[in-house]
Amino acid sequence: MKTLKVNLDRKTNHSYEIHIGEEILDRMGMILARNGWAGRYIMITDNRIDALHGDRVKSALEKCDLRVDRIAVEHGEASKVIGTVLAVTEKLTALGADRQTALVALGGGVIGDLAGFVASIYMRGIPVIQIPTTLLAQADSSIGGKNGVDTPSGKNLLGTFYQPKGVFIDIAFLRTLPDESFRSGLAEVIKYGAIESPELLDDLETAAAAGALREVSFLERIVTAACRIKKGIVELDERELGLRRILNFGHTVGHAVEAASGYTLSHGESVAIGMVAAATLAERLHYLPADDRRRIVSVIRAAGLPDRIPGNLDLDSIRSRIARDKKKEGEIVHFVLLKKLGTPFVNGGVPAELVKETLEGLRQ
C-alpha cells in the first residue's frame, strides 16, 4: 500500500493521507481505529455499490471494533441534489449522529460530493472519510475537498471546500465497474497526462495496445500518478483561486457538450471531446504543436473515448452553454489551453469565432 500526504494549511491542520493499494480494507479499518477520528461511523453509499461492496466494507470496519451504520441513496447523478441532502440529514438525526460521528463516503463522485457536502454542514461540520469506488473518483474527485450538489440551474452550484480526514483507494473496487464508467475515468486520467505528465499518456497507450487497461498494476500506477498530480495542485491552490483551474482542461467545452446532449453522453466522453476542442484551439492559436494535438487525439481513441462531436448535437446550444459557463468572469470565457503537453495555461482571449469554427470542424 502506498501513502501520499496532502499538505495543507498548517494552522487549521487539515492535511491528510491518501492510501492506495489493492485489497486494503483491513488496513483501512486499523488506520481508522488507531486514529480515533470518531466514536462511530455512518457509511453513505448508493444502492448499487451497497449491493456489491457495502457488507464487505462494513465488516472490515466492524472487525476493528468500529461501530458502523449505513445509509444508501438511489444511484446516479439525480441523487446529487438538495432533497437528498435533507433526506440523509433526517436519517443521520434518526440514527443519533452527533459531532462524534464521522461519515464514510463509499462510492463514485456522486456519493463523494454528496457525503462531503453533508459532512461539511451537518452540525457545522463532522469528519468525512472518502472511499472512492469509480476510476473517476479514485483518480480525481475524492482528492481536494471539493463537494456539492446540483440545482435546477446548474451542476455543483451549492457546495463547499471541505477536506476529508483520509482517502482510502482500493483498486479492487474497480473490478466491478462497468466499462462506460471505467472509460469516463480514463478521460480524467488523460487530462492529468495532458496537463502535467506526458509519460502517463505513454503508459496509457502501451496498456491499451496490450489490452491491459484493467490490469491492477497499471491501474494502481495511473491512479497514484493522478493523485500525486492533483494533490500537488491542491496544495498550492486549495480553493481554486488560480492554479487549480488547470484541472478544468477539457471541461469548458466538455460540460457544454454533456448538457447539450441531455446527459446522453457521459461526463468522460464529453470531457474527451472537450480536450480535443481545447487542444485544437491551442493549436490554432499557435501555442500547441500539431504533433501534441494529434497525440491527445490518439490516446483518447486508444481509451475508447470519442474525439468528435456527435452529428445530432446542436452546435448553437453548445456555444451558448460555453458562454454561460460558470467559470466565466465578466464577458470572458476562460479556456484551459496547452503550450505543449504538460504545460497548461488559462486563456481568456479565445475569439468566439474561433470557438465556432473549431466546434464545426469537430462535428461528425
Ligand X SMILES: NC(=O)c1ccc[n+]([C@@H]2O[C@H](COP(=O)([O-])OP(=O)(O)OC[C@H]3O[C@@H](n4cnc5c(N)ncnc54)[C@H](O)[C@@H]3O)[C@@H](O)[C@H]2O)c1
Q: State the catalytic residue, choosing from 91, 214, 244, 284.
A: 244
Say which of 220, 248, 258, 269 is annotated catalytic.
Answer: 248
Largest CA distance in the chain: 62
Q: Which of 245, 251, 293, 295 is catalytic?
A: 251
Select 76 or 83, whichever has its Cβ closest to ligand X: 76
Q: Is 157 left (phi over 0), alpha (psi -120 to 50) or beta?
A: alpha
Q: How far is the CB of 172 from ligand X (least distance, A)?
A: 9
Instruction: Give the residue with the Cβ less far from ligand X, 183 or 293.
Output: 183
* DSSP states of 119-171: HHHGGG---EEEEE-SHHIIIIITSS-B--EEETTEEEEE--B---SEEEEEG
353 is catalytic: no
Contact in structure between 339 and 303 (CB atoms under 8 Å): no
The residues binding ligand X (CB under 6 A) are: 46, 48-49, 52, 75-77, 80, 107-111, 113, 133-134, 136-137, 140-141, 144, 146-147, 155-156, 173, 176-177, 181, 184, 267
What single string gives the DSSP state of each residue in 181-228? HHHHHHHHHHHHHHHT-HHHHHHHHHHHHTT-TT-HHHHHHHHHHHHH
Query: Which is the catalytic residue, given 48, 80, 146, 295?
Result: 146
Nearer to ligand X, 150 or 307 (CB): 150
Q: Let me know if 334 is a catalytic residue.
A: no
- Is 24 strand, coil or helix? coil
45 close to 114: Cβ distance less than 8 angstroms: no
**Any catalytic annotation for residue 230?**
yes
| CB-neighbour burial class of residue 47 (10 A; exposed 0-12, middle 13-18, buried 19+) | middle
Q: In the complex with ligand X, which residue's Cβ is closer, 173 or 192?
A: 173
Residue with Cβ nearer ligand X (230 or 293) = 230
Which candidate in 10, 11, 34, 124 is catalytic?
124
Give the shortest CB-149-to-ligand X separation in angstroms: 9
Residue nearest to ligand X (CB): 109
Neighbour tally for 62: CB within 10 Å? 13
Q: Regarding beta strands 40-46 and 16-21, do their DSSP bridges make them parallel or antiparallel, or are they unpaired?
A: unpaired
For the question of residue 188 being annotated catalytic, the response is yes
Kindly state the smallest distance separating residue 360's Cβ from ligand X, in Å: 28
Tell me the closest approach of the beta carbon of residue 190 to ligand X, in angstroms: 14
The catalytic position among 70, 75, 183, 267 is 267
Retrieve residue 127's grid coordinates.
469528519
Catalytic status, residue 240:
yes
Strand 166-170 and strand 128-132: the pairing is: parallel
Under DSSP, is residue 35 helix (H, G, I), strand (E, B) or coil? Answer: helix
Distance in Å, CB of 356 to ligand X, minimum: 27
Residue closer to ligand X by CB (options 177, 201) is: 177
Active site residues: 124, 146, 188, 230, 240, 244, 248, 251, 255, 267
